[in-house]
Amino acid sequence: MDLCQILPVSMRSDIPDNCEQGLEEVRMRVGWPTELLYGDNSTKCLPKASQKDISETLNYLSGYSLYALATQLRQGFFTAKGGHRVGICGRANDQETQRIQGIVDVSGINIRIAHEKKDCAKSLMPYLRDGEQIHNTFLIAKPGVGKTTYLRDCIRLISTGDKTYPGLKVSVVDERSEIAACYRGVPQNDLGPRVDVLDNCPKVKGMKMLLRAMSPQVIAVDELGGEEDFAAVCQILYSGSRILGTIHADSLEEVKQKPYMQDILQQKKIGRYVVIKKARDGRRRCYVYDKDFKRLC
Amino acid sequence: MGMVLILSGTAGGIFAWISEEKKCADTLYEWRQFYIRAYYAMEMEHVPIVDFLREYPAKIPAMQQWIQVFVHALLQNTFVNGEEAFLWSFEQTKELWNMTPDCKEVIIHSAKGLFGMNLEENLTHIKCAQSAIEECIKEQKIAFVKKKKLVIPVTMFGAVMIIICLL
């Protein structure tokens, strides 16, 4: 992501050289310095942002087309070109009906830079393989650690295959265009040769549609969390396809406590749980567990 | 020979005047078409503005030129908002537009319609702009008929008078 293209014109001269190396987040809050947050926990500050600056940045990120992102904005975020997620805070309107129509008077934004780190999940593949298939797998991590990055690379490696195993047909439900970063339906990120992407589609509907339509060997989906999500996962588990999903949680214990997951956990249908942790130096460590929660590595 | 030359010159003049009027009408029809398509693209397809413009099948050179300048301006990410880019690009191509100041005013005001904060706001603005342009088209048609009624007989009469005088 080129910061000179997305930050307000008034800030561009203050952007230091090579500031995009290792950049993970850009945070702008009204009246506070704009922060560039890096993987190694370091921070660089730019001049204070005003509401006008934030509005200008939103214009650049949305291609001057915020209206086209209205549905996403109701959820408090949208995905910019390249798969970067832009979270928004401000005043949510229409509180009376308990239905958020949108966010106005934006007071802060958080741009999470999408990374395509090829081969970051290569070391996981021997644990995920189950003969010519793969184990049903959940990637678990707290926000900002890199679940989607790992998921993207897993998809690429599985669909590409290797010397021992052929590539598998992977169908991806990309609700927020973060995995494939589709532009007009065509993936911009490298997901391998055997991937079908259903872009901008709700997870639950998407999983069912793909199951029926694309005869996938693996269905990949990001950020499972709701009751309906896991109900759809259950359907996949009993359909012959395999699931590769991510879940927000800091540890396996937190996953075990998730109310909607109890059935799936008891059935022991998930063969692998991969917990991703971020070390202080910014490096990621992966811990793989089997269906009995026995640690494999 | 002189008679033929005078009459054909007069006919040529009338033809040139009608062509100019037609160009003006074409421009207004093009803008009407633009608003109709923009409305549909926004309401049904939720297409980002740049994608809409890139695929817009402009028929008149002025529109083609303006779209090119406008898209370039948007992709530069240097205008604080889209409205500014719209107005700047319109200003850059102002010599190409064959229309009355009133119509230009309508188009300038419609910039808000493409870059409002939400879809409803945009659609309302576009609808208003479309109605205003349709009003311009109507007025222009009436004016054209009125002018035609006057210009053609007067010109022809003038030509005949010149021929008589020369004879």
pLDDT tens string A52-71: 999 999 999 999 998 888 87
Distance to chain A for B85, nearest Cα, Å? 10
Candidates B74, B76, B80, B83: best to mutate against A (most CBs of A within 10 A) is B80
Name residues of chain A where pLDDT drops below 50.
none
Q: Work out the angle at residue A231's Cα, subtended by the Cα atoms of residues A227 and A233, and round it to the nearest 5 degrees.
A: 115
Widest CA span of chain A, in angstroms? Answer: 59
Nearest Cβ partner for B48 among A55, A60, A65:
A65
pTM: 0.79
Q: Measured between beta carbons, which residues in chain B are less than 8 angstroms from residue A199? A: none
Specify the pLDDT at position B66. Answer: 94
Tell me the pLDDT tens digit for each residue of B100-126: 888 888 889 888 778 877 788 889 999
**Interchain CB contacts (distance < 8 Å): A and B:** 53
| A55 at B interface, C-beta within 8 A | yes
Q: Measured between beta carbons, which residues in chain B are less than 8 angstroms from residue A93? A: none
The letter for the amino acid at A9 is V
- Alpha-carbon distance values, B114 to A56, A65, A103, B110, B128 (Å): 16, 8, 19, 7, 12
Q: Is A62 on the interface with B (CB under 8 A)?
A: yes
Give the pLDDT of residue A98. Answer: 65
A249, A255 Cβ separation under 8 angstroms: yes
What is the spatial distance between Cα A128 and Cα A122, in angstroms, rounded to a whole number? 10
B26 membership: H or E segment, kind and range:
helix B2-40
Signed CA dihedral, B32, B35, B39, B45: sign only: positive
Of B74, B78, B82, the CB nearest to A9: B78
- CA-based nearest residue in chain A for residue B46: A68
Q: Cβ of A243: how many Cβ atoms within 10 Å?
A: 27
Return the pLDDT at B50.
92
**Is A5's Cβ below 8 Å from some Cβ in B?**
yes
Tell whether A67 is within 8 A of chain B (Cβ): yes
The mean pLDDT value for B65-90 works out to: 93
Residue B82: which of A9, A64, A71 has the nearest Cβ? A64
> Can you read off the two tokens belonging to residue A279?
């070390």
The HSE-up count of residue B148 (CA atoms within 13 Å, CB side) is 13
Tokens of A123: 């070391």
Distance from CA of B101 to the nearest CA of A (A): 27
A229, two tokens: 């999500």
The C-alpha atoms of residue B61 and residue B56 are separated, in whole angstroms, by 13
Please tell me if residue A155 touches chain B, with a CB cutoff of 8 Å: no
Q: How many CB atoms lie within 10 A of CB B150?
A: 10
What average pLDDT does chain B have? 87
Of A149 and B165, the structure prediction assigns the larger pLDDT to A149
Task: Give the residue from chain A lying closest to B75, CA to CA.
Answer: A63
Q: Going by DSSP bridges, is the β-strand pair A133-134/A137-141 parallel, antiparallel, or unpaired?
A: unpaired
Instruction: Tell me the CA distances in angstroms from A251 to A142, A143, A183, A278, one per residue in order.
Output: 8, 12, 34, 12
With a cut of 90, say whether residue B97 has pLDDT above it.
Answer: no
Measured distance CA(A269)–CA(A242) in Å, rounded: 10
Mode of pairing for the β-strands spanning A284-289 and A272-278: antiparallel
Give the A window 106-145 contacts with B, CB below 8 Å.
Answer: none
Q: Two tokens at A200?
A: 């901008």
Rounded distance, CA A4 to CA A60, Å? 10
Chain B CB within 8 Å of residue A70 CB:
yes
Question: Do the Cβ atoms of B74 and A6 come within 8 Å?
Answer: no
- The kind and range of the H/E element at A137 are strand A137-141
**Of A52, A55, A67, Cβ closest to residue B116:** A67
Question: Does B117 sit within 8 Å of A64, measured CB to CB?
Answer: no
CA distances from residue B115 to A78, B43, B53, B83, B151 in whole angstroms, order as listed: 17, 14, 13, 6, 43
Verify whether the Cβ–Cβ distance A68 to B47 is below 8 Å.
yes
- For the purposes of burial, counting CB atoms within 10 Å of the CB of A107, is it exposed (0-12), middle (13-18) or buried (19 or more)? middle
d(CA A14, CA A2): 14
Distance in angstroms (rounded) separating the CA atoms of residues A223 and A226? 9
- Residue B72 is predicted with a pLDDT of 94
